[in-house]
Amino acid sequence: MKCNIGCSERNVRLVIGSVLVTLAITHNIGAWGWLGLIPLVTGVMKVCPAYALLKRSTCCKDCKSGCGCS
């Protein structure tokens, strides 16, 4: 799949996902914290299936050709 998540959004997804999963592991929040896996996985993969269905992308113009985000 083609990259459809921009660099800054990717970083936000990784941070939010990591925090939620960590809090779920340490039992500081309920089982709903495992929902943090969704932004974590989409951030790692640089692809959001919902964005693909909606034909949306937050990548910068330079990234669209090969996802040069790092």
HEC readout, the chain: CCCCCCHHHHHHHHHHHHHHHHHHHCCCCCHHHHHHHHHHHHHHHCCCHHHHHHCCCCCCCCCCCCCCCC
Higher-scoring residue by pLDDT: 45, 1: 45
Given a cut of 50, is residue 22 above it in pLDDT?
A: yes
Question: So what's the pLDDT on residue 65?
Answer: 47
Given a cut of 60, is residue 69 above it in pLDDT?
A: no
pLDDT per residue as tens digits for the range 27-58 = 999 999 999 999 999 999 999 999 989 999 88
Find the mean pLDDT for residues 1-9: 89
